[in-house]
Structure 1
């Protein structure tokens, strides 16, 4: 958002608009796909007796769209009920400063089997970050003792060793990242450990700690004293326990035409009916059917319901029978994904060849700042921060101060982002578990109850919290629903 549009756009204004039109000018519907009107009472095609639909999917993110596509292919009349006026959930394709950007989930990788299979299935094109991508030198700056410093070669060698030491237990803890029970006792033994606790076990220089702390905060989207060490170790394990694979898996490849391109392809393939701006108020199981009541008062009858909404918003919906109290407690606690993501356009082309990477510990407003795209007259950066209270991403002056702490030579022309913590249908960013959550909640998540099936991308094995994990969760929920309905 630039100053010509009003420099001091407040979070209060965002809150009023959240979930209605989203970030200014960025609302994206389902694009070119056909959105069904899906009138309740039309029982044509439903196999389940006295039902409007065989399957109602609550939530139109990647988990919900996947579940709906698979349910349609299984022969069930299916509708998606999405509270927002767009599909995509916590992914959000938009444009800023002449570039296609993602306000939520962005990057994918071939070590993420579910989403990579979808790319191959639909022949979707990818792009690399930064755009245009050239294998070139990267300049690293770390905020250390209040100043931005560029580590010397010997310091970089020490940082590399420190990273390996920090994650040294990851192969033992997550020997099989898709099977937590395989190393269950080892996981429980350190379940209460935070990222900061792990720092205390190691002999790190202040510079090494700042570097690792930046990545820990970026991984968990919260400060290192709030995140579970197990979660950071899981992320490290999934692409193969090394820094190169980790960086590529979490920040190199994305959809050329946006995450919405895969959503569109899935909808066009499965052709479920879609109802936007239809938040759900109640879900009530009645024998061989489920009654779904929208916030508008409409009642829809279904053979089964697949719930894919983010865990933090589960309490918005009244369930009968009541939800497992552990699920409600976890939702009220909220997972640790509560940070910010901001795009920053700076004036002029970078003066040197290559790309820039800025890193800062949990106390800084932005923990990871990286070149996103380059042009002749400007450069686009993307930044991730652990705490929304430390940076108003709608305030250009505040963003300029942050940018100057890393790069005093850069002038901010505009900034842009979406505040997921203020979105009533997200109440946070991607899901990352807190310390002790494995012990307290793991066996409660994704447990179906009668004809109410849970397929939330926040839970499950492997890449949960990612697009890949959402696709996996939706696919598995559809399979269980197929077994339920026959």
Structure 2
């Protein structure tokens, strides 16, 4: 089934039924050893034995959404002594992270990399003693990274210091003001005056103001697209500057934080530890229809008509879909408006298995943003095959299920490349995400920030899309869920 779909020449145009069929099949394949196995059974059994501390309700806390924000909020609420229920629309937990199998390797179809400059997720690594590995995996026999840059139809190879130095220097120049704008990148309120001075500028506008060589421009603009996972013309300059400031304001730190270290056993390994630790109840395949705050309790109604009552509800749903739930009192109109406008992240992450070894060291290939494969980098290197990870801004640029189409594009960098397999998850067609990671657009800090993550009565918002610091990352989601659980505890006592 999977090979047939991946090799199909049908355009990448999924409707809701197509998506649910595909996503359900792939999630089920992973779940046998993951969050639908023993971990979820134990969690449900442990949580069901507890009685609600609040009189007259089924649960003290109901959490909407089973991504890292929701799972963190549910774990912490349960450990705070509250009878807790998590409701997730999919048949798996993890949200926009997704541990899958590809070519004999665990791969991540969504969020992947972590780093010790990301305090919330690194604390979880230490708490549960999880093993971390580096990418690329496999047999890297030479140090360093080779850049292959597609400029004016020709591919240039950069592997010498005198070639790489000017390219990396362009990044230092582009982000020269980032540390001043984000002096405290975990405190947006403190930084807001400087942020507002620059927030109307797009990431692409800032690059186009620079005097760059053609090679510098291709590399910089490709990475800006990669950071925002959407058109750089739609991403705010202050957003990509936030990425630079968070790990310490230098290129190596940014590259290590965003692409070097990951969980040995996949992001699912942390999800499973959180469920086992929290022992909360959960219901998978349970999308929520409405949330009704009645003053002294909240009624949550699912699409299938099930009704649950709680003393508080924590919302961990992505910003692009939260407005699809009916809230009473109604959601803030600006929150609805932003969700319908959607954040920048709308791209594709594609795993590509190529016959043979492409290089002895890590290779990153970069092309114009209009190229079907604008950023391709080594993920696994073995003697007889290589797995590459590709990030692109438009999931419909080509048919990414078509190996021949992917191979033709990859040969712009590697003329002899033979593509054997491809694998991805269509996040923008997923009705429960409607996009990838969150980056704000120009003008959003002034227009929308005062309205995001504002609790209303017994409904508390802990969305990873609006957390402080590494917002849009696993770290930001954990921090947002943790903060929501703290505020619920302060309310319920």
Cα displacement (A) at 1:455: 0.3
Are the structure 2 counterparts of residues 475 and 127 from structure 1 closer, same or farther at C-alpha, using a change threshold of 3 Å?
same
Structure 2: which 5+ residue stretches go unaligned? none
Structure 1 CA distance for aligned equivalents of residues 176 and 22 of structure 2: 45
Please identify, of 438-447 and 125-134, the stretch whose mean Cα deviation from structure 2 is larger.
125-134
Deviation by residue 1:392-417 (Cα, 9 ceiling, x = unmatched): 22121221122111111211011010
What is the CA-CA distance between 1:89 and the residue it aligns to?
A: 0.3
Q: In structure 1, how many angstroms separate the alpha carbons of the residues matched to 2:281 and 2:405?
A: 43
| Mapped partners of 2:253, 2:50: distance in 1 | 50
Q: Which runs of 5+ in 1 are unaligned?
A: none
User: Aligned pair count?
Assistant: 483
Q: Deviations over 1:317-355 (max 9, x none)?
A: 0000000001001001000000000000001123x4212
Contact 1:36 1:275 in 2 (8 A): no
Aligned to 1:237: 245
CA deviation after TM superposition for structure 1 residue 196, in Å: 1.6
Distance 2:25 2:404 in 1: 18
Match of 1:378 among 379, 385, 400: 385
What residue is the counterpart of 1:213 in the other structure?
A: 221
Residue deviations 1:23-72, cap 9 Å, x none?
75343331430337979xx8960111211100000000100000000000
The equivalent residue for 2:326 is 318
Contact 1:43 1:53 in 2 (8 A): no
**How well do the aligned residues superpose, as a CA RMSD in angstroms?**
1.9
What is the match of residue 271 of structure 2?
Answer: 263
Which of 394, 405, 410 in structure 2 is aligned with 1:387?
A: 394
Aligned residue number for residue 195 of structure 1: 203
Please state how far the C-alpha of 1:462 moved relative to its aligned partner.
0.3
Q: Secondary structure at the match of 2:39?
A: coil
Contact 1:459–1:473 (CA under 8 A) maintained in structure 2: yes
2:185–2:191 Cα contact (<8 Å) kept = no
Q: Is 1:36–1:274's contact at 8 Å kept on the other side of the alignment?
A: no
Structure 1 position 311, deviation (Å): 0.4
Q: Provide the TM-score with structure 2 as the length reference.
A: 0.94
Equivalent residue number for residue 262 of structure 2: 254
Deviations 1:105-157 (A, max 9, x none): 00000000000000010011111101026461322101111222113654422
| Counterparts in 2 of 1:26 and 1:9: CA distance versus 1, 3 Å | farther
Q: CA deviation at 1:202?
A: 1.4
Q: Pick the aligned partner of 1:100 from 106, 122, 138.
A: 106
Query: Mean alpha-carbon deviation: is it higher for 91-100 or for 10-19?
Result: 10-19
How far off is 1:197 after superposition? Answer: 1.1
Partners of 1:266 and 1:386 lie apart in 2 by 32
Q: Contact 1:43–1:51 (CA<8 Å) still a contact in 2?
A: no
Q: 1:299 deviation in Å?
A: 0.8
Distance 1:32 1:159 in 2: 49
CA contact (8 A) 1:23 1:418 kept: no
Regions of 4+ moved over 6 Å? 36-39
Is 1:110 matched with 2:116?
Answer: yes
Q: Distance in 2 between matches of 1:392 and 1:480?
A: 45
SS of match in other structure, 1:49: coil
Residues in 1 aligned to 2:172 and 2:436: alpha-carbon distance in whole angstroms? 27
Change (3 A) 1:85 1:301: same
Distance 1:147 1:37, change over 3 A: same
Q: Give the deviation of 1:20 after TM superposition.
A: 5.5
Q: State the SS of the aligned residue for 1:327.
A: helix
Match of residue 293 from structure 1: 301
Residue 91 (structure 2) pairs with residue 91 (structure 1): no
Tell me if structure 1 keeps the 8 A contact 2:6–2:403.
no
Q: 2:285 aligns to what SS in structure 1?
A: coil
Aligned residue number for residue 343 of structure 1? 351
Deviations 1:157-182 (A, max 9, x none): 22122111100010110111111222
Distance 2:418 2:298 in 1: 56
Matches of 2:120 and 2:464, distance apart in 1:
12
2:423 matches 1:416: yes
Question: What residue number does 1:7 align with?
Answer: 8
Q: Does 2:374 align with 1:367?
A: yes
Provide the residue aligned with 1:406 in structure 2: 413
Cα distance in 2 between the residues matched to 1:234 and 1:143 = 28
Distance 1:184 1:95 in 2: 42
Contact 1:307 1:456 in 2 (8 A): yes
Once the two structures are superposed, what CA deviation does each residue of 1:233-268 show, in whole Å capped at 9, x if it has no partner? 000111111111111100011111110000000000
Moved more, 16-25 or 470-479: 16-25
How is 1:141-180 mapped onto 2 (pairs within 5 angstroms)? 141-151=148-158, 153-180=161-188
TM-score under structure 1 length normalisation = 0.95
